[in-house]
Amino acid sequence: MSEPAVFVVIRDQQRRYFYDRWANVFLYRNLIWGPDDLDEWLETEEAYDEWDGEVCGVAVIDHDRRQLVWDGDPDELNVPRVVNVLHELMQTSWRGYEVQIAARGATDVAIVAGVHGGDVGLIEEADPIADRAETVREAAGIYDHDGDDDLDDVEGDEFDEDTPRAWVTLINEEGVVRHRHLNEISQDLLKGKKDAFHQLIALNSGDVPAEAVVTEGIWFDFGRKEIGYWGCLSGRSAYAQLRRGWSGWKVDWADGGYSDQCQVSGPSGIPMSDAEALASLTPQILSTKRIDLESVMGMLGGQVKKVAVRATGCVTVVLCIPVLLFGLIAGKMQAALITILIVVVAVALVFKLIERKFKRKFNESPIGLHAKGKDDEGLRAPVAGPLDPAERRDRLERLLAAAGMPALSEIEKHIDSDDAMKELL
């Protein structure tokens, strides 16, 4: 029912553990201000002497080695370009420290923290790619139980222009380039299984996607026997498997990522600017609101209410149209308008009555009571860094300038004003 995070602070070879029940939601907004602000925020509550209980996110701050390693997995960090700009900002605010996003998640942070992952509720994967789709067909949204075993001209999941995806480029011996889109790079492709390519070729061709939606990319040059792969830091595990599975091929990690794959495949693509990448992070960084169950349920309730209002409006119109037509035909418009007014008022009263009963039932439920419980929040501020909105903006503006990034005025041009998440922030 929460998103707990633990902050492991190592100083003078002593480890202390600070907990926050909701900090894993946008964990980076607490880390981005640097070590001093983070320490000040953490120290407002008591530290523990050991790791106690399961957590979703972890940050290890080793002041002795001047190192920060953290593990968090919000959706906006699935795009490598976004991860890169965040990393640059954090390298600037943590100047003098080595900043790492844990490539192997729980395994890395447990090693740095000096604890065993299995003993503290962290999940250590024996196979780092085990959670990926096993086959290309599965990665394309095609399953055997669909009853389509024919590999000719099959269709997988449809990708809207904003849908995240993995980008696969195939270059045959004659230099012909073809593109495919998958939900992720599958295990059989990483392990070099021949049938994976038959399944890839059978999929519908795709265009070069925009960088803003690419979570990872890979290309196979059959003439040169070369493979290029890139993704977020967590993709390093997939890269290690790729090198093992494709012995005899030249397998490289593409440092240039999207631009490298565009260069190999020919077209220029649609690269993502720094301002666009930062636009997906800035509202969360500037927010000082505690993201807890109450705020989440409030956002969901607001969305549900909007849908209910629209639906009620449609029902009201449907009820009133026959009355209006009757008034026009019978020449009794005054009576028809009065009837419509009565219908509108009655529908509004019924809607408010249902809304009131729903709120009361929710507040009396275990979820509602938990959402409103404040006893376990402690005295810590909701987030690290400045709490005054103007000061927080000014600090971020200065950090952006120090990192050579675009100004807030440029970034905010790319922020989606219709994003439902804004209600949460």
Of 119, 145, 160, the one marking the end of a domain is: 119
Residues 150 and 39 in one domain: no
Asked whether residue 285 is assigned to any structural domain, the reply reads no
Residue 406 maps to a domain: no
Instruction: Note the pLDDT of residue 273.
Output: 95
Same domain, 369 and 321: yes
Examine the domain organization and report whether 208 and 158 are in the same domain.
yes
Give the whole-number percent of the chain exceeding pLDDT 90: 48
Q: Which two tokens stand for residue 173?
A: 């011996």
**Arithmetic mean of pLDDT, 62-80:** 85
Q: How many CA atoms lie within 13 A of 13 on its CB side?
A: 0
Q: Would you place residue 261 in the very low, low, confident or very high pLDDT band (cuts 50, 70, 90)? A: very high
The pLDDT of 103-124, averaged and rounded, is 62
According to the model, what pLDDT value does residue 78 have?
87
Q: Is residue 339 part of a domain?
A: yes
Give me the domain span that covers residue 349.
293-376
Residue 417 lies in a domain: no
In a domain, 27, yes or no: yes
Residue 388 or 106, more confident: 388
- State the chain's mean pLDDT as an integer: 82
Q: At residue 95, does pLDDT exceed 60?
A: yes
User: Does residue 233 sit in the same domain as residue 144?
Assistant: yes
Q: Are residues 210 and 317 in the same domain?
A: no
Domain boundary among 119, 144, 159: 119
Q: What is the pLDDT of residue 305?
A: 59
Number of H helices, E strands in the chain: 16, 10
Distance separating alpha carbons of residues 369 and 200, to the nearest angstrom: 50
Question: Do residues 115 and 151 share a domain?
Answer: no
pLDDT digits (tens, 9 = 90+) for 280-309: 999 999 999 877 555 444 444 455 556 667
The residue-averaged pLDDT of 37-53 equals 85
In this predicted structure, the answer to whether residue 90 has a pLDDT above a threshold of 50 is yes
State how many domains the chain has. Answer: 3
Q: What is the pLDDT of residue 299?
A: 43
Same-domain check for residues 65 and 155: no
Question: Which domain CATH number covers 159?
Answer: 3.30.420
> Domain boundary residue among 91, 119, 147?
119
264 and 198 co-located in one domain: yes
Q: Is the pLDDT confidence value at 400 over 80?
A: yes
Q: Is residue 129 part of a domain?
A: no
Do 222 and 313 belong to one domain? no
Tell whether 68 and 179 lie within a shared domain: no
* Residue 158, burial from CB neighbour count under 10 angstroms (0-12, 13-18, 19+): exposed
> Angle CA(337)–CA(340)–CA(342) in degrees, nearest 5?
110
Same domain for 247 and 143 = yes
221-253 burial code (b ≥16 CB/10 A, e <16): bbeeebbbbbbbbbbebbbbbbbebbeebebeb
Give yes or no for residue 152 having a pLDDT over 70: no
For residues 223 and 169, state if they share a domain. Answer: yes
Q: Residue 72 to residues 21, 31, 126, 153, 165: CA-CA distances in angstroms?
A: 14, 11, 20, 39, 20
- Taking the C-alpha atoms of residue 204 and residue 93, their distance in angstroms, rounded to an integer, is 45
Helix (H/G/I), strand (E/B), else coil: 26? coil
Q: Is the pLDDT of residue 367 over 60?
A: no
Least confident of 51-60, 146-155, 232-241, 397-406: 146-155
Q: Is 409 inside a domain boundary?
A: no
Among the ranges given (77-86, 212-221, 375-384), the one the predictor scored with the smallest mean pLDDT:
375-384
In a domain, 111, yes or no: yes
